[in-house]
Amino acid sequence: MLESTAFRVHGNFVAHIYFGMTAPMDQSIRKLSEYAHQLRFADISDEAVHECKRRLIDTLGCAIGAFDAEPSRIARAVAARYSGNPPARVFGTLRASSPDHAAFANGVMLRYQDYNDSYFMKSSGHPSDTLAAVLAIADAVHADGRAVITAITLAYEAFCNFSDVLEREQGWDYVLYGVVACALASAKLLDLDAAQMAHAVSLAVIPNVALEQTRAGELSMWKGCAAANAARNGVFAALLAQQGLTGPEDAIEGRWGLQRAVGRFEWAPFGGQGGPYRVTQTHLKYFPAVVHSQSPIAAAVELHGKIAIEDIQSIAVDSYWVAKRYADRASPLWHPGTRETADHSIPYIIAAALIDGTISAASFSEARLRDRRITDLLGKMTIREDAAFTELHPAAWPCRIEIRSRSGQHVIATSNFFKGHARNPLTDAEVETKFCQLTTGFLDSQQAGKILAKAWELERLRDIGEVIGLLSVNRAMDRES
């Protein structure tokens, strides 16, 4: 039922605002916004609550770790010009900005290294990108830990449900999932009613379709910033809806709505409606390298030390479709000259892991890029696609590495679920280790310890600002303008 109420504004004409629990919206918007409106902290499983905390820690670590990246500096410089009422703070500097610009700056930092979590279904993405919006709005409204957990759970449901039902073959960038997820999570934190939430979704969908070019050809800085921009516009959509702005009723299903551009879809069941919450289904990255290298790293680490590097005669790698990218031996992926190429090169990463027994940021230093031992191994390596593996992916991430030595030795290791995969999860201690590694040199160990302690107690936290307030990088702040 639609109730329309008209009232006079200062001028001599009349505006309309729709009230009531049910907005006259299309089914897709209604289902999503009604789910969002009814979701309560008490409904969320203990497991999902715990996974929210782990992702909060992981994401904050990623953000601080990318503090010095050039796009991080640019985004902070823009955010520093503004102050919101209420304000939201920028990680690292703790400068007060507006919620939308804080979401952008924090979003750039947490995503820039491509080290935050990921989700793979019909299409893929980094659902933790949405924490940029969640934390900016939560900081602004002094949300408590339970509200933050509820908002994170909700953002993941929206983002990952899109990934479940939409193929990424339409020529569009998937950041739209993030805009919608961020709008909903922000709306939840702002305590909007179901009708306002529906308008927030509509206002998120309509103007924020993005071009795939961001991921094509020679990559620009925007690759790491597009999701942060989605968070910025998701926050804005929620703020507009909070003030009573209305969006198109059939933004998703209408004749000229989203489905016209991306194809028809229907939501899969949402978390708690017979299935697990999706926040428990995403994968954390343990090694700082492209996600497709995570299983190869696990196999290579297993083989580390079994055959002396100098004795290796050949390395045969079997993988899923990603192997096709390595068909051309002249490709930079076989001869990485920059850090960005190296951390996306599976052969380079396997070689480094075989030599070192692990992968860290140091694996991609200038010196290592020129390391003869690595380039020698690259010359001995082949990568093939195994059709059976392609069948299994992305439910599994199979990789098999077979090494033969000059002396006739023969060793094989196979990995299906990389370390950090939802089915091979990091331990809480490993989540902490990653956080500490990322924040070393930016936060002192006492700060890091306090953040971890508060994050693990998130559901008892009175104000998320207590965690955000600890994220101050205590050096080089004089260079920020």
Partner 1 sequence: MTTLVEQLSSYAASLRYEDLPSTVISQAKRLIIDTIGCALGGYAGEPAKIARDIAGSVTSTRPATVILSGQRSSPDLATFANGVMIRFLDFNDGYTSTGESGHPSDSIAAVLSTAEIMQRSGKDVIAATVIAYEVFCRICDEADLKPLGFDHVTVGGMASTAAAARLLGLTEPTIAEAFNLGIAPNIALYQTRIGNVSMWKGCAYANASRNAVFAAMLAARGMTGPAPIFEGVGGYFKAVTRAPFRLAALGGREHPFKIMECSIKRFPLGQYSQTVVEAALEARTRIASADEITEVRIETVSAAVRLMAGDPEKWAPSTRETADHSMPYTVAVALIHGSVAEHHFGDEYLRDPKIRALAKRIKVEASEEAERRMPEAMRCNLSLVTRSGATHTAVVDYHKGHYKNPMSDAEVEAKFRGLAKNVLEPAQADRLLEALWKIEHVADAGEIVRLTAAARP
Q: Taking CB under 8 A as the criterion, which residues in 71-90 touch partner 1?
A: 71, 74-75, 77-78, 80-86
Comparing CB distances to partner 1, the nearer of 200 and 374 is 200
Site for partner 1 in 260-319 (CB under 8 A): 260-261
For residues 399 and 299, the answer to whether their CB atoms sit within 8 Å is yes
Collect all residues with Cβ–Cβ distance below 8 Å to 336 and sequence separation of at least 6: 342, 345, 348, 369
Task: Answer yes or no whether residue 479 interacts with partner 1 by CB under 8 A.
Answer: no
Q: What are the beta bridge partners of residue 410?
A: 404
CB 207, min distance to partner 1, A: 4
321 binds partner 1 (CB under 8 A): no
Binding region for partner 1 (CB under 8 A) out of 31-39, 69-77, 266-274, 437-445: 69-77
Instruction: State how beta strands 312-319 and 381-385 pair.
Output: parallel
* Rounded Cα–Cα distance for residues 55 and 72 (Å): 20
| Choices 245-253, 286-294, 307-315, 389-397; region in contact with partner 1 by CB under 8 A | 245-253
125's CB contacts (< 8 A; 6+ apart) are 118, 119, 159, 163, 174, 177, 178, 227
Alpha-carbon separation of residue 199 from 118, 160, 258 (angstroms)? 28, 21, 15
Question: Which range in 36-44, 197-205, 267-275, 283-291 contacts partner 1 by CB under 8 A?
Answer: 197-205
**Per-residue contact track with partner 1, 206 to 225, x per CB under 8 A?**
xxxxxxxxxxxxxxxxxx-x
Query: Applying CB under 8 A, which of residues 196, 233, 281, 282 lies at the interface with partner 1?
Result: 233
Choose the stretch contacting partner 1; rule: CB under 8 A; options: 50-58, 256-264, 294-302, 308-316. 256-264
From first CA to last CA, the distance across the chain in angstroms is 52
Minimal distance in Å, beta carbon 218 to partner 1? Answer: 8
Shortest distance in whole angstroms from residue 117 CB to partner 1:
22
Query: Can residue 248 be called a binding residue for partner 1 (CB under 8 A)?
Result: yes
Site for partner 1 in 141-170 (CB under 8 A): 170
Site string for partner 1, 395-424 (x = CB under 8 A): ------------------------------
Binding to partner 1 in span 105-144, by CB under 8 A: none
Question: CB under 8 Å, gap of 24 or more: what pairs does 80-85 form?
Answer: 80/480, 80/481, 84/140
Q: Report in angstroms how near the CB of residue 80 gets to partner 1 at its nearest.
A: 8
Closer to partner 1 at the Cβ: 98 or 319?
Answer: 98
Nearest distance in Å: CB 219, partner 1: 8
User: Residue from 158, 181, 185, 230 that binds partner 1 (CB under 8 A)?
Assistant: 230
Q: Assess 1 for contact with partner 1 (CB under 8 A).
A: no
CB contact set of 369 (below 8 Å; sequence gap of 6+): 336, 337, 338, 339, 342
**Window contacting partner 1 (CB under 8 A); options: 243-251, 309-317, 399-407, 467-475:** 243-251
205 part of the interface to partner 1, by CB under 8 A: yes
Cis amide leading into 207 (omega within 30): no
Looking at 335-443, list the stretches that DSSP marks H as alpha helix, in order from N- to C-terminal side: 339-342, 346-356, 366-369, 372-379, 387-392, 428-439
Q: Is 334 helix (H, G, I), strand (E, B) or coil?
A: helix
Only one of the segments 67-75, 111-119, 323-331, 406-414 lies at the binding site for partner 1 (rule: CB under 8 A); that segment is 67-75
Restricting to residues 11-30, name those near partner 1 by CB under 8 A.
11-17, 24
Amino acid at 76: R
Say how many residues touch partner 1, by CB under 8 A: 78
Task: For residue 399, list its beta bridge partners.
Answer: 415
- Cβ pair 104, 78 in contact under 8 A: yes
**Which part of the chain contacts partner 1 (CB under 8 A), choosing from 52-60, 235-243, 274-282, 413-421?**
235-243
Report the distance separating Cα 289 and Cα 340, nearest Å.
Answer: 9
Per the CB < 8 A criterion, the answer to whether 368 and 362 are in contact is yes
In the complex with partner 1, the residue whose CB is nearer, 104 or 286, is 104
